[in-house]
Chains A and B, each alone.
Chain A
Amino acid sequence: MNSDTKTRILVLDDETIVLKRLGPALEKAGYAVDLFSRSADALARVKEAPFDIVITDLKMEGLDGMQFLTKVKERSPQTEVIVITGFATMDTAKESFQKGVFDFLAKPFKLGEILETVKKAEKKIRPELAD
Chain B
Amino acid sequence: MEHLTKMRRVLESLCDRGSRRAPVTFAALFHTFQRILELNNQILERIADMGDKLGGDYIFDGEYIRTSCLQMGNLVYELVYNFNILAPQKYPALDGVFHGIRHDIEEELAGRVVIPRTEYVIPYDIISGDFDDVVGGKNTHIGEIRNRLEMTVPEGFAITTRAFQSFLDHNRLHQPLEEILQAWQSNAVSTNEASQKIHAMIMAGTPAPAMARAIQKAVRQLQHKTRGRRLRLAVRSSAMGEDSEHSFAGQYRSFLNEAPSNLVARYKEVLASTFSASAMEYRRLKGFHAREVVMAVACQRMIEPAVSGVLYSLDPADPTREIMVISAAWGLGEPIMNGSAAADRFTVSREAPHQVQQRGVVPKLRQWTSLEGGGCEFQPVADALQNRPSLSDAQIRELAETALLIERYFKSPQDIEWAYDRQGRLVVLQARALNVASHMVPAVCDLAAVTERYPVVFAHQGIIVQNGIATGKVFIVQTDRDLEAFPNGAILVAKQTSPRYAKVARKAGGIITDAGTSTGHMAAIAREFRIPTIVNTAVATEKLAAGQAITLDAQENVVYAGRIKELCYFNYMEDTFEETYEYRLLRRVLKKITPLNLVDPHAKDFAPPACRSYHDITRFIHEKAVEVLAGLDYRHRLQDATAGKKLDLEIPLDLILIDIDGGLQEDGAGRTVTREQIRSIPMRAFLDGLCSPGVWSREPMSVDFTSFMSSLTRTFSSHLVDPQRVGQNLAVLSGNYANINLRLGYHFNMIDAYIGERVNDNYAYFRFMGGVTDPTRRSRRARLIRETLAQHDFNVDLRGDLVIGRIKKLGRPEMEAKMVLLGRLVGFTRQLDVKMSSDQKVDEFTEQFARLLTKEAVVHRLGRETP
Contacts and interface: CB of A to CB of B under 8 A. Distances in A.
A and B part of one assembly: yes
Interface of A: 13, 15-18, 20-22, 24, 59, 84, 86-87, 107-112, 114
A20 B580 contact: yes
B59 A108 contact: yes
A67 B60 CA distance: 23
Given A86-B64, A107-B64, A18 B59 contact: yes
A108 B60 contact: yes
Interface in B555-604: 576-577, 580-583
B480 interface: no
B286 to A, nearest CB: 11
Given A21-B59, A86-B61, A86-B63, A108 B582 contact: no
Interface in B55-79: 57-64, 67
Contacts of B583: 17
5 contacts: A17-B582, A17-B583, A18-B61, A21-B580, A86-B61
Contacts of B64: 86, 107-108
Contacts, number: 55
Contacts of A86: 61, 63-64, 67
A17 B61 contact: yes
B576 A20 contact: yes
Interface in B281-301: 287
A109 B59 contact: yes
A15 B58 contact: no
A87 B67 CA distance: 10
A15 B62 contact: yes
Contacts of B580: 16-17, 20-21
A111 B58 contact: yes
B58 A108 contact: yes
B588 to A, nearest CB: 14
A84 B172 CA distance: 44
Contacts of B58: 108-111
Contacts of A15: 61-63, 582
Nearest to A86: B63
Interface in B7-66: 53, 57-64
Given A17-B580, A17-B583, A20-B576, A114 B63 contact: no
Given A15-B582, A86-B67, A108-B53, A20 B61 contact: no
Given A16-B287, A17-B60, A107-B59, 17 more contacts: A17-B59, A17-B61, A17-B582, A18-B59, A20-B577, A20-B580, A84-B59, A86-B63, A87-B63, A107-B61, A107-B63, A108-B59, A108-B61, A108-B64, A109-B59, A110-B57, A110-B59
Interface residues of B, number: 17
A48 to B, nearest CB: 26
A109 B61 CA distance: 10
Contacts of A87: 63
A112 B62 CA distance: 20
B315 to A, nearest CB: 26
B59 A22 contact: yes
B451 to A, nearest CB: 20
Nearest to B62: A15
Contact of A111 (B57, B61, B67, B582): B57
A86 B63 CA distance: 7
A24 B53 contact: no
Interface in B407-430: none
A30 B262 CA distance: 58
A18 B63 CA distance: 11
A15 B60 CA distance: 9
A109 B53 CA distance: 9
Contacts of B581: 16-17
A13 B67 CA distance: 18
Most chain B CB atoms below 10 A, which of A13, A15, A18, A112: A15
B109 to A, nearest CB: 14
A76 to B, nearest CB: 26
Contacts of B60: 17, 107-108
A105 B538 CA distance: 35
Nearest to A23: B576
User: Which one of A13, A16, A17 has the greatest number of beta carbons of chain B within 10 Å?
Assistant: A17
Contacts of B577: 17, 20-21
A59 B61 CA distance: 12
A114 B57 CA distance: 11
A87 B580 CA distance: 22
A67 B839 CA distance: 84
Nearest to A87: B63
Give the interface centre of A18, A21, A22, A59 by most chain B CB atoms within 10 Å. Answer: A21
A38 to B, nearest CB: 16
A35 to B, nearest CB: 13
A84 to B, nearest CB: 8
B725 to A, nearest CB: 60
Nearest to A112: B57
A114 B61 contact: no
A20 B581 CA distance: 11
Nearest to B577: A21
Contacts of B582: 15, 17
A106 B576 CA distance: 23
Give the one of A24, A59, A108 with max B CB within 10 A.
Answer: A108
Given A16-B580, A17-B583, A108-B64, A114 B287 contact: no
A16 B581 CA distance: 9
A108 B49 CA distance: 11
Contacts of A59: 63
B311 to A, nearest CB: 32
A40 to B, nearest CB: 19
A37 B636 CA distance: 68
B53 A17 contact: no
A84 B64 CA distance: 13
B26 to A, nearest CB: 42
Interface centre among B59, B580, B581 (most CB of A within 10 A): B59
Nearest to A25: B59
Interface string B675-709: 00000000000000000000000000000000000
Contact of A114 (B59, B62, B67): B59
B62 A17 contact: yes
A21 to B, nearest CB: 5
Nearest to B57: A110
A111 B287 contact: no
A15 B287 CA distance: 12
A125 B275 CA distance: 51
Nearest to B52: A108
B85 to A, nearest CB: 34
A107 B287 CA distance: 22
Contacts of A114: 59
B52 to A, nearest CB: 9
A28 to B, nearest CB: 11
A15 B576 CA distance: 16
Nearest to A59: B63
A86 B53 CA distance: 14
A64 to B, nearest CB: 14
Nearest to B67: A86
Contacts of B287: 16
B577 to A, nearest CB: 6
Contacts of A17: 59-62, 577, 580-583
A17 B581 CA distance: 8
B551 to A, nearest CB: 23
B643 to A, nearest CB: 48
Given A17-B582, A86-B64, A86-B67, A111 B576 contact: no
A21 B582 CA distance: 11
Nearest to B53: A108
